Amino acid sequence: MKKSLLTLVALAALMALLCLYIGGGSVEAAKPAAKVSKTSCAACHPELSAVVPKGHPPVKGSDIAACLGCHKPDASGKADKNKVSTGLHRAHVGEGGKLDCMSCHTWKPGKSFGLQGQKVSFGSPTKDELEVMKKVFASWKSSGYTDSLHNKANIVCGGCHGSAMAKEGDTVENSRCLECHGPMEKLAKKSEPQDFPDRNPHKSHLGEIACTVCHKGHAESKTYCLECHKLFKMKKIPGGSASQ
Amino acid sequence: MKKEDVNQKGISRRSVLKGAAAVGAMASLGGLAMNLASPGSAGAAVRQLPKKWDEAIDVVVVGSGFAGLAAAAEAAGEGSKVVILEKMPTYGGNSIINGGAWNSWDDKFHLRKKLNLGDDSWELFKQDTLKGGDFYNYPELVEVMVKSAPEATNLLMDEGVKVRETLPRMGGHSAYRTFMAAEGVGRGITEPMKRVAEKRGAKIRLGTQVSWIWRKDADSPVLGVEVTKDKKKSNIRIKRALILASGGFSRDVKMRMVFNPSLGPEYNCTNQPGATGEMIRYAQAIGADAIQLAFIQLYPCAEPETGMLDTPAVYPYTGTGYGLIYVNKAGKRFVSELERRDVVSMAQIKSGSKPTYSILNDEVFKKLVVPKEELEKGIAKGRIIKADTLAELAGKLGIPADALQETVGRHNKLLGEGKDLDFNKPLTKNMIPLVNGPFYGIAQWPSIHHCMGGLRINTSAQVIDIWGNPIPRLYAAGEVCGGVQGSNRLGGNATTDCVVFGRIAGTNAGKEKSL
């Protein structure tokens, strides 16, 4: 009897420690509450209203459903900003983010990937694919590459990749980029070098090429022209290395 | 296919290749056979055919330059499902950045006659090409190229390629026969060709590298290819044929030094970065013969610092037939401007100082129908130096004024007399004496440009194996092949070669019976 009591106390202490760990330093220290499930926001945010932006109406509830009542999940894959999804992912994923995807999402490996309490499914990632996605989210959060520049602009995966969950090796078509960044003439105007206007990556002798030749989503972007034209003075490419 | 010669010599072709594909059978005979899969790669000794194919395609074309596009268009025209595999992230290879020039002894508009530029014939074109290649060319291949040149020219025009109203005579040619795309660059040719190929249903897959050719044994046809995209490998079964149109290896320093150790990394190169020749090795690994690989050409007039063949680097080569001259830093001529590329290149290297210069005037630019805007761009970038007088030009180029004036004066005089006593250049009445300004100077220096050698083909564009027999269902066209250009390719012959043999390869591939 005594032994089991000791075990219980030890377990409780461990739980408390764990919760503290999950909470990290930036969120309020969690109080070990009796009815808090591992998928509850309240495990780390006892007051959800305290973590939403200023001026946001009070939040009722203790899990993702509290948000989704008003912020309907969007699986349309529009090339739009999505502040709620971006904000939630930015705060919780990748390097420094301590939460498992399953705190908000539901997942049947290879079958579905949705949101708790919602019928929506965004795709059917396998275990490996989900691991890749976690790495990509870490990149999106802080890499300095094109992905993290889109994070800053409140664009999450679907903003570029559309409604289907992106997989390794997927690309983004020019038309998609140009929905927000186009037309090409506008980009050409922006990238026009000061010395010789015809040395323009957006208006080159190669004709229309894929944006992704230079602009890499989850890797360092590089101006392809410089592969051959080593002496050209090109404008710095966003998401590229400091030296280029 | 004739197998007798092989068996007579007592060599089993199978013994070489069998190990690469059919290990099981060999193993029972005790041990593995020699294997040509790349050493060190996992499983090299037991490289086995794929157990399953990821997809099946009628005709696979490797490379998306002139030859690949021409082949794809013809094969698709025969009703085949055609996929072009291009390892680079953009299409077009060297073709899209080339000078936009090709040779033909006639065309449906008879441009040469219209411009009153003398006579030409397929026989003369053939003779020039053979002579320019020191007769290392396979005459039957040259004959196919020259005889088909007008048809290829008319086809390009029908497909929407626009040409300038000029017909330069370039080094090694004894006639005015070089057509120039209006854009002044190869894109003016590749874009219409791509449109036609795609309209007929051919699909281009960019960033997709062939990493192996599958063939069961030395009697087997090509069965498929292994492709690598984003580091992932997959296998394509080929139902009709594989066409290699993957270009040369000028950009692979190691490979070119194997065949010509003097062409080290200190040489610049005009090519796109993808010209690395690995398809030649993959073809060799399944038994293909490769010939004359040591013949690697320098383009004499590239931009001296970077070695690029930019737009201003085209004029020094196309302007020769209209009276442009070459001088060294001492202001002296050093070679007949109508010499072949190898001769001009070596003459420059031996001239004692880098760079050398092309000297021309406005009238030559007019003969070349160079648009004003194009000329002004070259001047703005400092690639073309302009001056009102020869003395002023000499000053700007840093060469002695009196020497340049004397050289130009003497050349003008020789033009008048009709005989080049100094370098024995064949003078014509179409060469303009450089009397009237403004004058122009363009700096130039040789840069590695074209691989004449490559896979051995026959007149049907079939790849020939090391025993002299065609490899079933394997075709090749363009710079990846050897034998068409001999030891030295004449300017403008590459595009003609690519279009002519690309079309032959595509037509024949499309006619193969589906497996």
In the block, tokens 């053939």 appear at B126
The closest of B172, B120, B134, B245 to B500, measured between CA atoms, is B245
Q: Give residue A191's pLDDT.
A: 95
Average pLDDT over residues B356-361: 98
The residue of A194, A203, A205, A218 whose CB has the most chain B CBs within 10 angstroms, and thus the best one to mutate to test that interface, is A205
Query: If you average pLDDT over each of A128-132, B3-7, B135-139, which comes out highest?
Result: B135-139
CA-atom Rg of chain A in angstroms: 23
The answer to which of B32-46, B93-107, B243-257, B398-412 has the lowest mean pLDDT is B32-46
Q: pLDDT tens-digit profile of B389-436?
A: 999 999 999 999 999 999 999 999 999 999 999 999 999 999 999 999
B48 vs A185, residue with greater confidence: A185
pLDDT band of B42, cuts 50, 70, 90 = low
How far is it, in rounded angstroms, from Cα B153 to Cα B176?
A: 15
Q: What is the residue-averaged pLDDT of chain B?
A: 92
The pLDDT assigned to B9 comes to: 42
pLDDT value, residue A76:
85
Nearest residue of chain B to residue A196 (CA atoms): B381
Interface check A212 vs B, CB under 8 A: yes
Q: What angle do CA A234, B370, B274 make, to 5 degrees?
A: 45
pLDDT digits (tens, 9 = 90+) for A153-204: 999 999 999 988 998 889 999 999 999 999 999 999 999 999 999 999 999 9
Contact A209 B89 (CB under 8 A): yes
Query: What DSSP character marks residue A150?
Result: H
Q: Which residue has the higher pLDDT, B240 or B21?
A: B240
Question: What gap in Å lies between CA B416 and CA B402, rounded to an integer?
Answer: 21
Mark yes or no for CB contact B90/A206 under 8 Å: yes
The answer to whether B269 faces chain A, any CB pair under 8 Å, is no
8 Å CB contact between B201 and B82: yes
- Partner residue opposite A198 with nearest CB, options B92, B308, B377: B377
Share of chain B above pLDDT 70, in %: 91
- pLDDT over 50 at B370, yes or no: yes
Give the ipTM.
Answer: 0.84
Which residue from B minimizes the CA distance to A227? B273
Higher pLDDT, A18 or A46: A46
Residues in chain A: 244
Quick one: pLDDT at residue A64? Answer: 87
- Asked whether the predicted pLDDT for residue B35 surpasses 70, the reply is no
pLDDT of residue B473 exceeding 50, the answer is yes
More confident residue, B35 or A23: B35
pLDDT of A111: 94
Pairing of strands B203-205, B82-85: parallel
Tokens 């129908």 identify what position? Answer: B369
- B contacts of A230 (beta carbons < 8 Å): 306
Q: What is the pLDDT of residue B380?
A: 96
pLDDT band per the 50, 70, 90 thresholds, residue A97: low
Q: Does B308 touch chain A (CB under 8 A)?
A: yes
Which pLDDT score is estimated for B41? 60
Task: Give how far Cα B245 sits from Cα of A161, B110, B258, B503, Å.
Answer: 34, 30, 22, 11
Q: B372 and chain A: CB distance < 8 Å anywhere?
A: no
For residue B497, pLDDT over 60 is answered with yes
CB contact under 8 A, B273 and A228: yes
Rounded Cα gap, residues B151 and B107, in angstroms: 7
Report the gap between the CA of B90 and the closest CA in chain A (Å): 6
With an 8 Å Cβ cutoff, are A196 and B97 in contact? no
Q: Does the pLDDT of residue B13 top 60, yes or no?
A: no
Pick from B97, B229, B305: which is nearest to A205 by CB?
B97
> What is the chain B residue with the closest CA to A212?
B89
Q: Determine contact: A219 vs chain B, CB below 8 A.
A: no
Q: What is the pLDDT of residues B68-108, one digit of tens each?
A: 999 999 999 999 999 999 999 999 999 999 999 999 999 99
Closest Cα of chain A to B289: distance in Å? 32
- Predicted pLDDT at B142: 98
Nearest-10 crossing angle of helices B187-199, B66-77: 20
> Following DSSP, what letter does each residue of B456-467 receive, concatenated?
-B-TT-EEEBTT
Sign of CA dihedral A132, A137, A138, A139: positive
Q: Which of B90, B229, B272 sits opposite A213 (nearest CB)?
A: B90
Please give the share of chain B, as a percent, with pLDDT higher than 90.
Answer: 89
| A212-244 pLDDT, tens digit each | 999 999 999 999 999 999 889 999 999 998 755
Nearest to B232 among A169, A206, A227 (CB): A169
Contact check, Cβ <8 Å, A207/B97: no
B34: pLDDT strictly greater than 90: no
Q: What is the pTM of this model?
A: 0.87
**Interface contacts A/B by beta carbons within 8 Å:** 39
Candidates B206, B209, B270, B384: best to mutate against A (most CBs of A within 10 A) is B206
- Contact call for A227 and B273, based on CB within 8 A: yes
With cut-offs at 50, 70 and 90, classify the pLDDT of residue A30. very low
Band of pLDDT at residue A66, cut at 50, 70 and 90: confident
pLDDT at B198: 98
Q: Is B341 among the catalytic positions?
A: yes
Report pLDDT for B444.
98
CA distance to partner chain B, nearest, from residue A193 (Å): 13
Q: What is the DSSP letter of B181?
A: B
Query: Is B232 close to A213, i.e. CB distance below 8 A?
Result: no
Nearest to A196 among B273, B308, B381 (CB): B381
Which carries the bigger pLDDT value, residue B354 or residue A118? Answer: B354
Q: Which of A207, A229, A230 sits opposite B187 (nearest CB)?
A: A207
Compute the nearest-CA separation of B89 from chain A (Å).
6
pLDDT tens, position by position, B316-341: 999 999 999 999 999 999 999 999 99
pLDDT in tens, A165-175: 998 889 999 99
CA trace torsion B255, B260, B265, B270 (10° rounding): -80
pLDDT value of position B206: 97
